[in-house]
A and B are shown apart, each in its own frame.
Chain A
Amino acid sequence: AQSVSQHNHHVILSEAASLELGCNYSYGGTVNLFWYVQYPGQHLQLLLKYFSGDPLVKGIKGFEAEFIKSKFSFNLRKPSVQWSDTAEYFCAVGSGNTGKLIFGQGTTLQVKP
Chain B
Amino acid sequence: NAGVTQTPKFQVLKTGQSMTLQCAQDMNHEYMSWYRQDPGMGLRLIHYSVGAGITDQGEVPNGYNVSRSTTEDFPLRLLSAAPSQTSVYFCASSWRLAGVHEQFFGPGTRLTVL
Contact = CB atoms under 8 A, between A and B. Distances in A.
Q: Do A and B bind each other?
A: yes
Interface of A: 4, 6, 9, 30, 32, 34, 36, 42-46, 49, 51, 90, 92, 94-96, 98-106
Name the residue in A43, A102, A106 with the highest tally of chain B Cβ atoms < 10 Å from its Cβ. A43
Contacts of A100: 33, 45, 48, 58
B44 A96 contact: no
Contacts of B100: 32, 49, 51, 94, 96
Residue from the set B31, B45, B100, B108 with the largest chain A CB neighbour count within 10 Å: B100
Given A43-B105, A94-B101, A99 B50 contact: yes
A53 to B, nearest CB: 11
B53 interface: no
B96 interface: yes
Interface of B: 31, 33, 35, 40-45, 48, 50, 56, 58-59, 90, 92, 94, 96, 98-103, 105-108
Nearest to B56: A98
13 contacts: A4-B42, A36-B105, A44-B43, A49-B100, A49-B102, A51-B98, A96-B96, A96-B101, A99-B96, A99-B103, A102-B45, A106-B40, A106-B42
B44 A99 contact: no
A93 to B, nearest CB: 11
A103 B43 contact: yes
A5 to B, nearest CB: 10
